[in-house]
């Protein structure tokens, strides 16, 4: 069943049976185009963090000593996130808190699965940043290279498939094709959504 517009759900990253990120987000729409979600700056979310404050951006999961989910505040950009059904990526639109469009972020990830209270996906580490002028750059390439062959991640062949999917999306960006064609760049949330929604994150484990 699709989620209802304005419903609050939790978008989770999972790896090796553990939740590594939990973001409460507002449903904009859930239809043939995909699941479209909104999260403003200041929203409380949870991120897997080791005892020294490091995260999965700093070291892979199997090298962490005692990681736990830690509540944090989302900073810098309001985000609109499109998760097409069956797609190995999500596309994020960045907005300043004042409403200005700041560009796109392509998060390579496994196709999402639904839960009654939200969706789960596994982050595939490699990402792409696309500026409003459609220039682009890879993000987290070093982290991606270090993850190849690591427990709970992916082998070299799968890494090649992940990069190929990224290259396909880069080609869309270069061409100014959807989702990089101006769609949603003027998005404004319902004023009723201004209330922060972090209180719905379930108890952390």
Poorest-pLDDT segment among 51-55, 174-178, 196-200: 196-200
Beta strand spans in 131-179 (E): 136-139
Asked whether residue 113 carries a pLDDT value surpassing 90, the answer given is yes
Q: pLDDT tens across 8-28, in order? A: 999 999 998 999 999 999 999
Position of tokens 């960006």?
Answer: 173
pLDDT attached to residue 59:
86
Distance CA 175, CA 179 (A): 10
- Asked if residues 126 and 170 have their Cβ atoms less than 8 Å apart, the reply is no
**Phi, psi for 136 (deg, rounded to 5):** -145, 165
Give CA–CA dist 4/54, Å, rounded.
36
What confidence tier does 58 reach under pLDDT thresholds 50, 70, 90? Answer: confident
Q: How would residue 199 be classed by pLDDT, with cut points 50, 70 and 90? A: low
pLDDT at 192: 84
Percent of residues, the chain, with pLDDT higher than 70: 94
pTM over 0.85: yes
**Looking at the predicted structure, is the pLDDT value of residue 109 above 50?**
yes
């Amino acid at each position: 069943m699709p989620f209802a517009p304005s419903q609050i759900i939790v978008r989770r990253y999972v790896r090796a049976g553990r939740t590594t990120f939990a973001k409460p987000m507002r449903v904009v729409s859930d239809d043939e185009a995909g699941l479209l979600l909104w999260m403003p700056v200041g929203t409380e979310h949870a991120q897997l963090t080791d005892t020294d404050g490091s995260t999965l951006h700093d070291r892979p999961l199997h090298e962490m000593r005692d990681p736990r989910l830690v509540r944090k505040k989302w900073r810098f950009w309001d985000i609109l996130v499109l998760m097409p059904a069956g797609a190995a990526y999500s596309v994020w639109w960045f907005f300043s808190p004042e409403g200005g469009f700041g560009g796109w972020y392509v998060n390579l990830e496994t196709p999402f699965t639904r839960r009654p209270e939200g969706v789960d996906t596994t982050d595939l580490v490699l990402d792409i940043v696309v500026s409003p002028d459609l220039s682009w750059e890879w993000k987290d390439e070093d982290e991606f290279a270090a993850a190849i062959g690591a427990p709970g991640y992916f082998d070299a062949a799968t890494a090649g498939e992940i990069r190929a999917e990224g290259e396909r999306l880069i080609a869309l960006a270069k061409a100014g094709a959807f989702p990089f064609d101006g769609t949603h760049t003027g998005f404004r949330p319902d004023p009723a959504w201004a209330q922060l929604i972090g209180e719905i994150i379930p108890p952390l484990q």
